[in-house]
């Protein structure tokens, strides 16, 4: 399932909550609704919503675990952290900066649009 950041708000407890619109196959969305149960919410257009206090960027993916939990796919973040740590030093810092910019900026393609003419 794919998610796109829709909005955020501050809860009554003062926590920032991020709201993502969920898209996917009919089967995925049915599973999502079933697992969410009483916590299932939809926007005005009937799109399922996923709420979290941990931002995963402008876009991302959700996974359903073997224990029927909805979790974000953080593998791209984990890979970026691993590569930055692997090289360390100034090069690791630069790799971390570039990876963070791509991940948080919502870049999920391998082409550089700034170089397109």
Confidence of residue 22 (pLDDT cuts 50, 70, 90): very high
DSSP string, the chain: -EEEEEEEEE-TTS-EEEEEEEE--HHHHHHHHHHHGGG-EE-TTS-EEEEESS---SEEEEEE-TTS-EEE--HHHHHHHHHHHHH-HHHHHHHHHHHHHHHHTT--SSS-GGG--
% pLDDT > 70, the chain: 89
pTM of the model: 0.76
- Residue-wise pLDDT for 45-90, tens only, equals 999 999 999 999 899 999 999 999 999 998 888 888 888 888 878 8
Q: What is the reported pLDDT for 117?
A: 37
Q: What is the reported pLDDT for 61?
A: 96
Q: What is the reported pLDDT for 108?
A: 44
- Average pLDDT of 92-117? 61
Residue 114 has pLDDT above 70, yes or no: no
């Amino acid at each position: 399932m794919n998610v796109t950041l829709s909005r955020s708000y501050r809860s009554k407890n003062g926590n920032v909550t991020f709201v993502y619109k969920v898209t996917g196959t009919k089967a995925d969305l049915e599973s999502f609704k079933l697992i969410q149960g009483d916590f299932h919410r939809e926007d005005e257009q009937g799109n399922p919503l996923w709420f979290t206090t941990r931002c995963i960027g402008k876009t991302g993916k959700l996974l359903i675990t073997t224990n029927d939990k909805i979790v974000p796919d953080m593998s791209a973040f984990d890979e970026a952290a691993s590569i930055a740590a692997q090289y360390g030093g100034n090069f690791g810092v630069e790799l971390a900066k570039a990876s963070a910019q791509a991940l948080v900026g919502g870049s999920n393609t391998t082409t550089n649009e700034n170089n397109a003419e």
